[in-house]
A = this chain, B = another copy of it.
């Protein structure tokens, strides 16, 4: 061999849940060690450098249920390069295509962690922006698609007046012919700013940005210029590294709310895909999300309490030096759920209620004030 491999020796670990008895699980684990690195038949590799330094290593294989094992596999940090796309590739590229393998969690040793800034604001930063030290943060959405911009702006105004910390676009609002991005953001940002002036509040408007690849950065910067206070990004639609790039952009410097659209393929299968904690917690943080929106338990999306618990842990657990992100349970939440949600999530949560705020009489700002005072009462 012309040149010796000379890697640092640092490895990052991933835990996979494997279906089958011990023999089958071990065979799968050993296959993953090759599949996710060399993707080459073991017996055809005669180079000891590659074998010792590149191959994934099976660190442990522990039973975790009936006919089910958790395998911890350590990969060389250099295999993941310094790029999120390649880290995803090593963690779950080809093996995403095999049934019976679920990525449960992964860690981020120092060399790899140094490649990722993570959430710019995180929980502390969002609290500072919202001037809210201890209580849960409050969020609502402007919708539905099809409403004229003037009416969306009016809704944003009422929601801000009523004390929401964040008013976000519905994730279906894009740059449609009937609702242009630039005009919408200008009008809604202005409406929220006006409400803040009148109420002394600190509400931030978060437009939804799912632009074409080559216009995404510019659209976020445009949003920042015309007064947006955050952005909603769906990494399932844009790619995780697009969100990372937006979070890292010092020109816009906006908080990022991650939306789970199009990511369900990974979470609905119970014995394949990616765990709720790794997908909606760890990966979202790694890709710069300050807050991770997800379907709350008890709503229409079949997430369980355990899924949500695991997800919250993923937003908070040690992961390199990445700041914790806020969990944002959503999806058909109602005022009547608030007590239960605070009981479950505690204070460190962004409560996102959409349609239900429109069910309590014509004065939307007044309903928001009820929502806000309910939260204060319960969490004080």
CA distance A91 to B64 in the complex (A): 36
In the complex, what residue of chain B is closest to A214 when comparing beta carbons?
B245
Q: Which residues of B have CB within 8 Å of A72? A: none
Q: Which residues of B have CB within 8 Å of A37? A: 144-146, 172
Q: A89-B234, A94-B261, A239-B213 are in contact. Are A2 and B151 (CB under 8 A)?
A: yes
A373 at the interface (CB under 8 A from B): no
A302 at the interface (CB under 8 A from B): yes
A199 at the interface (CB under 8 A from B): no
Interface flags, A103-119, vs B, CB<8A=1, else 0? 00000000000000000
A237 at the interface (CB under 8 A from B): yes
CA distance A372 to B116 in the complex (A): 45
Q: Which residues of B have CB within 8 Å of A170? A: 39-40
Most buried by B among A88, A93, A151, A211: A93
The one of B41, B216, B268 in contact with A272, judged by C-beta atoms closer than 8 angstroms, is B268
Binds B, one of A49-57, A125-133, A308-316: A49-57
Q: A78-B177, A85-B238, A97-B264 are in contact. Are A150 and B5 (CB under 8 A)?
A: no
A174 at the interface (CB under 8 A from B): yes
A241 at the interface (CB under 8 A from B): yes
Is the pair B264, A95 in contact by a Cβ cutoff of 8 Å? yes
A:315-353 near B, CB below 8 Å: none
Interface flags, A12-40, vs B, CB<8A=1, else 0? 00000000000000000001000111111
Is the pair B265, A45 in contact by a Cβ cutoff of 8 Å? no
CA distance A7 to B88 in the complex (A): 40
Is the pair B5, A96 in contact by a Cβ cutoff of 8 Å? no
A98 at the interface (CB under 8 A from B): yes
In the complex, what residue of chain B is closest to A99 when comparing beta carbons?
B268
A205 at the interface (CB under 8 A from B): no
Q: Which residues of B have CB within 8 Å of A99? A: 268, 302
A226 at the interface (CB under 8 A from B): no
Q: Which residues of B have CB within 8 Å of A239? A: 213, 237-239, 241-242
A210 at the interface (CB under 8 A from B): yes
Is the pair B83, A210 in contact by a Cβ cutoff of 8 Å? yes
Q: Which residues of B have CB within 8 Å of A238? A: 85, 239, 241
CA distance A294 to B176 in the complex (A): 34
Q: A144-B38, A237-B88, A268-B97 are in contact. Are A358 and B172 (CB under 8 A)?
A: no
| A residues neighboring B (CB under 8 Å) | 1-3, 5-7, 31, 35-41, 44-45, 47, 49-50, 53-54, 78-79, 81-86, 88-90, 92-99, 143-148, 150-151, 170-172, 174-178, 210-214, 216-217, 234, 236-239, 241-242, 244-245, 260-269, 272-274, 295, 300-303, 354-355, 358-359
